Chain A
């Protein structure tokens, strides 16, 4: 089983807000990163660290933390936001990286 857990699937109406969560003990210590993967494409970094957006990522994407949970919020979801979202962080030992199992988002 993964050290990071995510809901398998979430759906949202066009223009509405969606929150995707990632839970794990290591998130009490380490930041998470979030990637968006469309079918047939490589993952794309959308949020990293505390709440940082790479150049070119719309500001409707934001990150937050509470306890052992990291969250990715998409405000005003667009059809282009469909796909799989993966969280990524350190494991409990801090020595290795791990991915969450992914959340499939349907808009």
Chain B
């Protein structure tokens, strides 16, 4: 069982940097790939990217130029940064875990979600 707790700033101005952190409270840290997903209000899910426990990250090509996902294994935390935000980045942001031995990269545990609003 993996428990994820996420936090960060919920209100940003255009051009600022979005910064969220997700703590892995229980479960093996090295047996998972750590993932960020977002969901604009009233819309579907969008995969942002993921990182393994060694810090190797993969990103959604549509966001890659503005996104960075990092990991701190000693603190059992991983983080998301999105720079130069606009109103289009307003969304519920979720962190989630994907077992590294999965043949389908399924997301088995999710954080509670964090609403980030970008407004001037």
Contacts and interface: CB of A to CB of B under 8 A. Distances in A.
Interface residues of B, number: 23
B104 A96 contact: no
Nearest to B112: A42
A102 B39 CA distance: 12
A45 B104 contact: no
B94 A96 contact: no
Nearest to A37: B45
Contacts, number: 64
Interface string A10-47: 00000000000000000000111101010000111100
Contacts of B104: 30-33, 48-49, 89
Contacts of A37: 45
Nearest to B110: A42
A96 B47 contact: yes
B45 A99 contact: yes
A78 to B, nearest CB: 22
Interface in A44-103: 44-45, 48-50, 54, 84, 86, 88-90, 95-102
Nearest to A49: B104
19 contacts: A33-B104, A35-B107, A42-B94, A42-B112, A42-B113, A43-B45, A43-B94, A43-B107, A43-B110, A45-B106, A45-B108, A48-B108, A86-B45, A88-B107, A96-B47, A97-B105, A99-B37, A99-B45, A100-B44
Interface of B: 35, 37, 44-47, 50, 58-61, 94, 102-108, 110-113
Interface of A: 30-33, 35, 37, 42-45, 48-50, 54, 84, 86, 88-90, 95-102
What 4 pairs across the A-B complex have the smallest Cβ distances? A48-B106, A31-B104, A33-B106, A49-B104
